[in-house]
Amino acid sequence: MKDIDVIAVLQDPVRRRLYEYVAAQGREVGRNEAAEAVGVARTLAAHHLDRLAEAGLLESGSRRLTGRSGPGAGRPAKVYTRARVERSVSLPARDYRTAAELLAEAAEEAGLDAGLCAAARRRGESLRGAAAPCGGLEEVMEVLAARGYEPHLEGGEGGEGGGGAQEGEGGRERVVRMRNCPFHAVAERFPPLVCGMNLALLEGLIGVDGPVRARMDARPGECCVVVEASKDNEH
């Protein structure tokens, strides 16, 4: 299926809401949960989820949602996660990925890491404009979401959660992690160069003189950068 046909699958509003919900969870989602989240019947949700899987936008599998095994544990349920394959359409055809990879290769060979990071930090500051540095993790979430990073708050009692506190009731520091890296394809080939560039870009975007800071903390399947309370502003 061509990318333009795959993207067209999302034209249906219910199907698109289901895709966006599954993608936002960062974990396996069952049919019942997805149906309840978007307010449709389970049978309708199952139809659309399977259509998304057929198109390659979701990956499907099965597991027991009860967490039990053996007799009485129930039948495995079908679950879905977002597919890792990228889809894009450009009319007329463009190939910015090849250009980015060539520029990254040349920068890496020439040892231009510092210059690239400086340029990325300036770009981040330019994108922030006259706005003050982010004042907390809630504001960071808004800024990163607008740039396509798909941020989520992690830490504190109960793991992920909302709220603007820098530290959870359980004493664990909260950090903003990102499920999506907008530079993923190039970062896979040139991780030190591109991840360093990404960190510098986010430093400029959220500011380095405010109560939050960006740092490297790579984890499989997520952006290599996290944002946390600045050490100078911890309680």
User: What does the pLDDT read at residue 47?
Assistant: 97
pLDDT of residue 125: 97
Q: What is the DSSP string of the chain?
A: --HHHHHHGGGSHHHHHHHHHHHHHSS-EEHHHHHHHHT--HHHHHHHHHHHHHTTSEEEEEE-TTS--STTS---EEEEEE--------SS---HHHHHHHHHHHHHHTT-HHHHHHHHHHHHHHHHTTPPPP-SHHHHHHHHHHTT--EEEE-STTSS--SS-SB-TTSPBPEEEES--TTHHHHHHSHHHHHHHHHHHHHHHH-SSSSEEEEE---TTS-SEEEEE-GGG--
Amino acid 173: pLDDT: 84
Model pLDDT, residue 235: 46
Digit-by-digit pLDDT tens for the chain (235 residues) are: 899 999 999 999 999 999 999 999 989 999 999 999 999 999 999 999 999 999 999 999 998 766 656 555 567 899 999 998 889 888 899 999 999 999 999 999 999 999 999 999 999 999 999 999 999 999 999 999 999 999 999 986 544 444 344 444 445 689 999 999 999 999 999 999 999 999 999 999 999 999 999 999 998 889 999 999 987 655 4
